[in-house]
Structure 1
Amino acid sequence: MEDAKEGEDYEKFLDELEEDQEMRSKIALYRNENYQRVDTASMTDGEDVPSVPLDELLGDLTLEDDEHEDEEMEG
């Protein structure tokens, strides 16, 4: 029974996080490489589902070349 409550609380948290831009801005979001996409259209009953804009997810992303890797490749 407690596991069910934890699951409900977690789902509620995720829903609130998805809908609240200010809350999302304070939490680091990462892509799950093992994520299995689910057809959400059948779960929403026609209501609009809020989504996180891609530019917001990528806002803090910085890509840098690792100098150490470059040195290993050269020799």
Structure 2
Amino acid sequence: MKRFGLGLLFAIGGYVAAAIAGYFLIGLVSSNAHDRDLEAAMTGAFVLGPLGAAAGFIAGLMRGGRKPTDV
């Protein structure tokens, strides 16, 4: 349960970090002249944010470690 909770915590942080970074990255490199801000917001929220959340969840699961086994 601790691993799962840590995974969720990392997923939230990963989503926020990736969405913000994606917003600024798309804003810098997009050639779209009409709705650059909308494109950056949608790409950050619906593409890069979920990718960052998935990566954060996996990192949180790995960081949580395993329960020691009694033999």
User: TM-score scaled to structure 2, two decimals?
Assistant: 0.31
More helix by share: 2
Higher RCO (Cα < 8 Å, 6 or more apart): 2
